[in-house]
Structure 1
Amino acid sequence: MSPRSTGGVADPVHLDRPRLAEDVVLHPPAEQDAPWILQKGTHQYIRIGEDLAALSRALDGAADHASLAGALGPRWTPALVGQAVGQLADKGMIADGRPPARRRRVRVLGPHRIQLTLLHPERLLAVLRPVAAVAGHRLSLGAGALVVLAGLVALVTLRSDVSLAMGSPLPLVGYLAVGVGFLLTTCVHELAHGAVLTALGGRPTRMGVMLFYFTPAFFCDVTDGWRLPRRHQRVVVALAGIAVQLVVGGLAALAAVVAPLEARQTLLVFAVLTYVACVMNLLPFIKLDGYLALMSALDVPHLREKAMADARSWLASTFLGARRERSLPQLSWAVPFGLGCMGMPVYIVGTLLLVLSDMLLGLGIVGATALLLVAGGGVAYVVVGLVRLGRQARRCGAPVGRTAAVSIGTAAAVVVAGAVVQVPVTVNGGYVVHDGAAHLVLMNGADDVGAGADVALVRRGLLTSHTLTSAELTAEGARPVPTPFEAFLPVAGTDVSVPLPGRPLSVAELPPERVGGAVVDLGMLPLWGWLAHTYLEPMGLELAAPPHDEETSR
């Protein structure tokens, strides 16, 4: 819902007798004291005052600057007209002789956000306008709030079942139900944004699918919400999707209370994921609904970009001695908010790596490649951020010597920390009870793991895992073991098995479940070695010496 800028530079010939570009629309104030708005295409909106609106109305391509100044009255001079026209041209609002840009189905808004437009939803959302009106009634809002609260109470009441559901494998049909349900819920979430905007007089322009931080999602472009005259209207549009999604999560939690046992786990997983998704959506540090609501409430376009600029300026001033600049002097919390916005993508990527690493690393080179791509995206983001910080420091006069000293010192500290800090090293795989004995199975084979290594046999769920028992790897050689997919993925009830080499394990008592996950403890490695061992060695790149531990090499 934030306005976007796609500025261009017009040919000076077209600036002499300017006119608005073909895809530019001038919107009058929606109510008294509201601003005029210039809209270019479907994504760019700028607010202007009465004087600039009068100039925009007069730009017909026939009048020069002197004629425009004469027509607009004594407050204008040809020089002021030229200055204003230049500003509009910088925003791409002045015709430059080129046809308007074609609407593209695919929009790349950075490596973390790629959108594919599937439809233009004006007619669909116009049909849903009565539904939005009913949903916005006080009785409907009260009933929805009760459902959300009752769902939370149900999850607390069933907390032991919730823990078991999140830490146990689901059948494939359960994952399919959760996936389809979540997909439909996010679709309704986006429709809610568009329906509320339509009910308030706005016009959603696009709907489609996107990749957002490596995660597929739907989107509904409600940038037109910036034409709404009141802040609270834009806040309602931003939060409409979360409100609908919370109600769906509450209904799923309530249904789990009365559902049969085989369906309860699936409903609980869906309800928890829905509530968690809503909480994440409310975080204002990335461009999700919570950020859009905050930006709308403050009525500050590009709040995140301006806050991050203030944060970079603070960093450059504090550590590099650069001149301090402020884009949001009216907000005392702009710098910490900007730092949070800068750090949130790193946190998201780190969380993805932690949550997915156990499951994906057990899949060998395929899983390691996926994790490496995610980690590479996080590293690229950090590098781009450091480059921007350096440019900011140089532009604001940071001393070259101090900048070089701080940069070298920081790099040296990172290198030393990576060589000194010790990190536990593990290998993720699975176990299978076969012929009355437990066996360790790894996608890349278990021959490289030394006898005596400690192995935790675990039950893996979608988000958590539970240790069933401990074991020790014996010195016996590997033997073919029929291995279900459940040994590597938290999917229950799969009858398909493949023969994999399994190493016998010594256990005091066999685990209660025939198949599950396994985590092999290989000792400790320095951070750099751990990174190489975790993300590169599964791809066949041997860059780190194996950890040496008397307990794992005897």
Structure 2
Amino acid sequence: MSRDALRPPARAPHAAVPPRLADTVRIEPAANGGHWLVSIDGVPVSRASSTVAATLSAMDGTAAVDDLRRRFAPDQEPEAFAALVERFRRAGLLEGSPRRPAGRVTYRPPLTIQLATLRAPLLFDRLHRLLRPLLRRWLVWPLAAIVVLGGVALVWQAETAARALTSPLPLADLGLVAAVMIAATLAHEAAHGLTLSHAGAQPRRAGVMLLYLGPAFFVDVTDAWRLPSRASRVVVALAGPAVHAVLGGAAALGALAVPDSDLRRALLVVACTCVTVVVVNLVPFVRFDGYLALMSALDEPRLRARTMSDAADALRRVLFGGPAGPRSFPRRWSVPFGVLSALVPTVIVGFAVERAVRALAGTGPVGAFLVLALQSFVVVAVGVRVARWLVACWRRGTGRLRFVLLAAFLTAAAFGAAASVPVDDVRTTGFVVADDRVLLVSTDDSPASLPVADGSPVDLSTSGILSAHVATGTAWATAPRPRAVPLSAFSPLEVSGVDVDAVVIGAVDVAESSELPVAGRASLRLGSRSVLEAAWTTHVVEPASVLLSFLSPPDTDTKETRR
């Protein structure tokens, strides 16, 4: 008989303690009568079946877990039912594991921080009374027509829109686009709350938040679970993207109608930005509006958390063995949905971190400190979740030796791949066209920090919101000399009459004849290095060296001069 056969079956923590429902938990029938609503401090947290509601109600601190299983789930294995009770405990439904209601400052793992006002019910009640005369069903049709016709208009102007996105924007246009998009984002969130109020429920909180390292507004529409129909909850979730869709359609139609080229360019940028917001918001694998709409349509609360739990359990079984845990979401697509729900936010966070590192590069010790602090926060937040999963694998795997050997192998394989896979060593700087010559320019006072090797390939592109490749050439080093260059050499902004002090660090022989912009971005290809070296140098060594040089200035010669 093997040693694993002698091991006692795994039991969930607290399984021997008779569970007791927390005093702050209330269980009431849902408006549609098909489910029960579970709330903490008056805040709905889940919809439950009649069996689950009866099981929770029977948890009075006197009935043991096995007794509850025999009464309400006799067909379920003891370990599976004990794990269910443990999920209730982790959700804050049982005594001894209180769940604090969201307040003015709330952190939601892994990377969301919210700053809220608790007067949202009063604010949206007043807003609803003010706008109620305009909220009519027939209004949907003209708004839908704007969206459809605006989409056709945007496709018709696709070439002009592409030029607007890939060219530097004048300061006035950028200010207009920024103001419109901030107002649109505010209206987006207000639409969620207003739709919820119109349906008969109340938004609880509203404010600003840092979502996956990006600032955003938010409105807490958890109370939508009180609405009687799934369709009503889906409408609440999609009200926000509808605002951006209508605004994008109107901007595209406006661009088709206005004669002024500058205003047309700004309107097309607004339309394209709105389309991007709508598409991103409908991705169901992140806690955006598309996910909330899907969860409401399926009438399945905590969909991401449950599917990610199933995916983590499946991965644990594949890697480390052990018995299968009970399914949190009994659908065939639970595991793949959970995998994507974990991977997509990871990609978003990685992209956001990479963008922040590039934006803060060259901004001195303050930027270096922000880069290191931001990355440390991300590593800790993600590391805690990974560590918890590893602990669960350690406890429920088939053998400790297999766990140690496989973990060591996977770690070594990951570092080995990162150390051996090459990536292009690309350094980005600016270029200007002067006297029929293409000059490489840098804002760094020490041009040696960006070496230009003779014969290095270089790609030239525009410096708009998006970059468009315009030419390929060969770089040659030149003697450093100061020069004033347009702002568009280093940013997607164009300000007439405003130049930036820079240093010429090289020249480019353009390979093909093409019309070049006055200024733009140049990407120097300086060879290749491993993924590990590139990541370590860019994300750790460079900001750390800047910070250390600021904290520890070079020693000065303090020796006295002898006469």
Scaled by the length of structure 2, what TM-score is found?
0.78
- Equivalent pair of 2:46/2:302 in contact (CA under 8 Å): no
SS at match of 2:448: coil
1:388 and 1:39 map into 2 onto residues whose CA distance is 25
SS at match of 2:528: strand
Who is 2:560 aligned against?
A: none
- Equivalent pair of 2:425/2:526 in contact (CA under 8 Å): yes
1:178 and 1:477 map into 2 onto residues whose CA distance is 40
Who is 2:31 aligned against?
A: 30
Who is 2:342 aligned against?
A: 342
Who is 2:485 aligned against?
A: 483
Q: 1:245 to 1:514 in 2, by over 3 A?
A: closer
Who is 1:447 aligned against?
A: 448
Who is 1:472 aligned against?
A: 475
Q: Which amino acid aligns with 1:465?
A: A
SS at match of 2:447: coil
Root-mean-square deviation (CA, aligned residues, Å) is 3.9
- Following superposition of structure 1 onto structure 2, how do residues 70-81 of structure 1 map, counting pairs within 5 Å? none
- Equivalent pair of 1:312/1:392 in contact (CA under 8 Å): no
Who is 2:68 aligned against?
A: none
Q: Which amino acid aligns with 2:531?
A: L
1:434 and 1:278 map into 2 onto residues whose CA distance is 42
- Equivalent pair of 1:469/1:511 in contact (CA under 8 Å): no
- Equivalent pair of 1:429/1:517 in contact (CA under 8 Å): yes
- Equivalent pair of 2:112/2:211 in contact (CA under 8 Å): yes
Who is 1:247 aligned against?
A: 246
Q: Determine which of 471, 476, 498 is the counterpart of 1:496.
A: 498
- Equivalent pair of 1:172/1:491 in contact (CA under 8 Å): yes
Who is 1:221 aligned against?
A: 220
1:499 and 1:313 map into 2 onto residues whose CA distance is 57
Who is 2:306 aligned against?
A: 306
2:385 and 2:52 map into 1 onto residues whose CA distance is 39
Q: Determine which of 457, 463, 466 is the counterpart of 1:463.
A: 466
Who is 2:41 aligned against?
A: 40
- Equivalent pair of 1:362/1:442 in contact (CA under 8 Å): no
Can you give the 5+ residue segments of structure 1 that lack an aligned partner in the other structure? 1-8, 67-74, 77-82, 543-554
Who is 2:424 aligned against?
A: 424
Q: 1:50 to 1:385 in 2, by over 3 A?
A: closer
Once the two structures are TM-superposed, the CA of residue 507 in structure 1 deviates from its matched residue by 2.8
Once the two structures are TM-superposed, the CA of residue 140 in structure 1 deviates from its matched residue by 2.0
Q: 1:251 to 1:362 in 2, by over 3 A?
A: farther
Q: 1:360 to 1:238 in 2, by over 3 A?
A: same
Who is 2:203 aligned against?
A: 204
1:88 and 1:311 map into 2 onto residues whose CA distance is 19
SS at match of 1:462: coil
Deviates more, 1:417-426 or 1:449-458: 449-458
Q: 1:155 to 1:103 in 2, by over 3 A?
A: closer
2:463 and 2:365 map into 1 onto residues whose CA distance is 20
Q: 1:500 to 1:51 in 2, by over 3 A?
A: closer
- Following superposition of structure 1 onto structure 2, how do residues 20-419 of structure 1 map, counting pairs within 5 Å? 21=23, 29-35=30-36, 37-42=38-43, 44=45, 47=48, 104-118=103-117, 120-129=119-128, 131=131, 134-135=134-135, 137=137, 139-259=138-258, 260-328=260-328, 330-352=330-352, 361=361, 379-380=379-380, 382-419=382-419
CA deviations over 1:122-160 (Å, ceiling 9, x no partner): 2332344464675451x3222222211212211211111
1:423 and 1:534 map into 2 onto residues whose CA distance is 13
Who is 2:78 aligned against?
A: none
Q: 1:32 to 1:324 in 2, by over 3 A?
A: closer
Q: Which amino acid aligns with 2:195?
A: V
Once the two structures are TM-superposed, the CA of residue 344 in structure 1 deviates from its matched residue by 0.9
Q: 1:156 to 1:369 in 2, by over 3 A?
A: farther
Counting matched residue pairs gives: 504
Once the two structures are TM-superposed, the CA of residue 89 in structure 1 deviates from its matched residue by 9.1
1:524 and 1:211 map into 2 onto residues whose CA distance is 35
- Equivalent pair of 1:27/1:39 in contact (CA under 8 Å): no
- Equivalent pair of 1:256/1:268 in contact (CA under 8 Å): yes
Q: 1:372 to 1:169 in 2, by over 3 A?
A: farther
Q: Determine which of 511, 518, 530 is the counterpart of 1:514.
A: 518
Q: Determine which of 514, 530, 537 is the counterpart of 1:526.
A: 530
